[in-house]
């Protein structure tokens, strides 16, 4: 049975590239009936923090990629690492080195092949405090990495320097710990990022030195990098790479996983909307692409929208809780009512791509006053028929029965009166009631909001409009010509006065 491992180094957040690597390991394990091992590579003390490890675990759980074994801590396996070092020392694979960085640089300055020059290889100095241990790499020959994704990759040994395996402080380094642990854990397939390809021959050298030349090495599969728009490896500095941040924006784990699977791989059918079990069934390491893939948030967002729209209403309402009921909600908790939200939910679901966009769609219901978008208001203030429409709505809505269908009819009649198509006629009402130019269908929105609040908001908007339009409009009636003439010159000054009131 295959045994794969995902071996992240704790760096304070869960990188999307790591998530993709984890996913491909996980898919391979699930499909082959193998074991998915999680190993935390924290040999460097500075990377050994509990909360960072907890972050990785939590992100993996969110993505439904729970490990079958682990997490193991590399830091907890020091004894094994030191034992391996002793064994390598005993077999003559290692030598001690007391060169300073400066000395090496001075000696190798003009060399064609940079890196350590093997100065201490034949000096025969003993291991001890202050001395690093280097691996004696043969000068001639070739190491060939059998890579499932790329085929055979050859590395001339002459291009590989005598790399350090144990620091002068006595601490074993990544390459050694990583290899020793892979051996100990019986790893059969090493699936990781392409950035590790150049160090693979070094690991193979250690593996053979430890286990013997005849031993079977694991199969390797180096996955293409995830890059940004500049085609550079995704970096914490300039790119949004934290899985947690996508979770907070309201991406769904299933959608995120689906998108990640499409980076460097595709389903034979050509379909892109794929359930996890379809991924597990169809995934093949052999089919993984060779070239880097751009992490396209727009496409992720679209795919997420597909998942959001496909949810049943109850699941959607549930999933929205962190944004509607949590401390992050833009309204006071006591004003929120899930039953009310549920009425609007199907309409909202169709209009958002991420859950984080939900509050803006419904905040007009749960806020005492709608959050007025000033650009939207400006368009109402500039509309010569706005006052007429608002007055008409105020009159008609006061007595009609209160349901979306009736509101629709009544408003359509009003539109006909003012000589406009419904789409344009309803604009002032929408802005007055919801504070925005866009949102869920207006009549359903008002039906949910209720008559009292709707009328109150219409009146407030009408009052504000009256102040903006100035007194000229009132004696002259609501004729379009007069309103248009009055609105522009009176606008700025009167508007400022209202703001202070």
Q: Give, as ranges, the residues between 30 and 59 that touch RNA (CB under 7 A).
A: 41-44, 46-47
Q: Does 81 bind RNA (CB under 7 A)?
A: no
Q: How many CB atoms lie within 10 A of CB 169?
A: 9
Query: The dihedral of CA 437, 440, 441, 447: what is its sign?
Result: negative
Is residue 363 close enough to count as binding RNA by CB under 7 A? no
Span near RNA by CB under 7 A; candidates 153-161, 249-257, 364-372, 454-462: 153-161
Nearer to RNA, 118 or 198 (CB): 198
Nearest CA to 442 among 460, 430, 452, 458? 430
CB atoms within 10 A of CB 230: 9
Among 298, 399, 401, 500, binds RNA (CB under 7 A): 298
Is there binding between residue 291 and RNA (CB under 7 A)? Answer: yes
In the region spanning residues 394 to 413, those forming contacts with RNA, defined by CB under 7 A, are 404, 408
Stretch that binds RNA, among 25-33, 240-248, 288-296, 321-329 (CB under 7 A): 288-296
Q: Under rule CB under 7 A, which residues in 458-477 are in contact with RNA? A: none
Report, in Å, the least distance between residue 44 CB and RNA. Answer: 4
Nearest distance in Å: CB 329, RNA: 21
Is residue 437 part of the contact set for RNA (CB under 7 A)?
yes
For RNA (CB under 7 A), the number of binding residues is 89
Contact between 285 and RNA (CB under 7 A)?
A: no
* Residue closest to 295 by CA, chosen among 240, 357, 356: 240
CA proximity to 348, closest of 317, 375, 374: 317
The token duo for 218 is 């694991």
> How many helices (H) and strands (E) would you count in the chain?
22, 12
3-state helix, strand, coil in the chain (%, to 5): 55, 10, 35
Q: Scanning residues 366 to 395, which ones bind RNA (CB under 7 A)?
A: none
CA 53, 315, 351, 348 torsion: positive or negative?
negative
Neighbours of 120 (CB within 10 A): 20
> Which window, 50-58, 149-157, 317-325, 489-497, contacts RNA (CB under 7 A)?
149-157
DSSP letter for 263, please.
S
- Smallest distance from the beta carbon of 291 to RNA, in angstroms? 3
Q: Is 24 helix (H, G, I), strand (E, B) or coil?
A: helix
Active site (catalytic) residues: 236
x-or-dash pattern for RNA, window 171-190, by CB under 7 A? --xxx--x------------
Place of tokens 């160090």: 199
The minimum distance between CB 169 and RNA, in angstroms, equals: 6
Member of 31, 168, 249, 456 binding RNA (CB under 7 A): 168
Please tell me whether residue 441 binds RNA under the rule CB under 7 A: yes
The distance of closest approach from Cβ of residue 166 to RNA in the complex, given in angstroms and rounded to an integer, is 8
Q: Give, as one character, the DSSP assignment of residue 262.
A: T
Residue nearer to RNA on the CB measure, 214 or 419: 419
Nearest in space to 474 (alpha carbons), one of 455, 458, 492, 487: 487
Chosen residue from 115, 128, 330, 332 binding RNA by CB under 7 A: 115
Footprint on residues 229-268 left by RNA (CB under 7 A): 230-233, 262-266, 268
Binder of RNA out of 33, 50, 92, 100 (CB under 7 A): 100
CA pair distance 275, 23, nearest whole angstrom: 14
135: phi then psi, degrees, rounded to nearest 5 = -90, 130
């Amino acid at each position: 049975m295959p045994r794969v491992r995902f071996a992240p180094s704790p760096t304070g957040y869960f990188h999307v590239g790591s998530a993709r690597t984890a996913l491909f390991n996980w898919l391979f394990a699930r499909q082959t009936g193998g074991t998915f091992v999680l190993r935390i590579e924290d040999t460097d003390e500075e990377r050994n923090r509990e909360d960072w490890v907890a972050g990785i675990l939590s992100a993996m759980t969110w993505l439904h990629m729970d490990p079958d074994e682990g997490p193991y801590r590399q830091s907890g396996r020091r004894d094994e690492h030191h034992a391996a070092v002793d064994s390598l020392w005993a077999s003559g694979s290692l030598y001690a080195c007391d060169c300073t960085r400066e000395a090496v640089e001075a000696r190798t300055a003009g060399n064609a092949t940079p890196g350590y020059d093997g100065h201490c290889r034949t000096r025969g100095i003993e291991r001890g405090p202050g001395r690093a241990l280097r691996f004696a790499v043969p000068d001639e020959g070739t190491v060939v990495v059998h890579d499932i994704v790329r085929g055979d990759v050859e590395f001339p040994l002459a291009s590989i320097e005598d790399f350090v395996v144990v620091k002068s402080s006595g601490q074993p380094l990544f390459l050694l710990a990583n290899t020793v642990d892979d051996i100990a854990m019986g790893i059969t397939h090493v699936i990781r990022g392409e950035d590790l390809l150049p160090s693979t021959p070094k690991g193979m050298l250690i593996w053979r030195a430890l286990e013997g030349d005849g031993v079977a090495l694991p199969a390797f599969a180096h996955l293409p990098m995830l890059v940004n728009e500049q085609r550079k490896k995704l970096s914490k500095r300039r790119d949004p790479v934290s899985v947690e941040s996508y979770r907070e924006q309201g991406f769904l784990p299933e959608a995120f996983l689906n998108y990640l699977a499409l980076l460097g791989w595709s389903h034979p059918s050509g379909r892109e909307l794929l359930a996890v079990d379809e991924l597990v069934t169809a995934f093949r390491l052999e089919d993984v692409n060779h070239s880097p893939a751009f992490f396209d948030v727009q496409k992720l967002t679209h795919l997420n929208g597909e998942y959001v729209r496909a949810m049943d209403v109850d699941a959607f309402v549930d999933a929205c809780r962190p944004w509607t009921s949590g401390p992050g909600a833009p309204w006071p908790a006591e004003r929120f009512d899930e039953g009310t939200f549920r009425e609007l939910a199907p309409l909202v679901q169709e209009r958002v791509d991420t859950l984080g966009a939900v509050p803006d769609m419904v905040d007009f219901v749960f806020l005492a006053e709608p959050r007025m978008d000033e650009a939207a208001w400006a368009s109402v203030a500039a509309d010569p028929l706005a006052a007429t429409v608002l007055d008409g709505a105020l009159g008609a809505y006061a007595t009609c029965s209160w349901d979306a269908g009736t509101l629709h009819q009544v408003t359509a009649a009003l539109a006909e009166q003012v000589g406009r198509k419904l789409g344009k006629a309803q604009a002032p009402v929408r802005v007055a009631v919801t504070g925005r130019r866009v949102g869920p269908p207006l009549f359903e929105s008002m039906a949910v909001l209720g008559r009292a609040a709707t009328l109150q908001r219409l009146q407030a908007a009408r009052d504000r409009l009256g102040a903006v339009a100035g007194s000229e409009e009132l004696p002259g009636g609501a004729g379009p010509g007069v309103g248009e003439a009055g609105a522009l010159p009176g606008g700025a000054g009167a508007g400022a006065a209202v703001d202070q009131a």
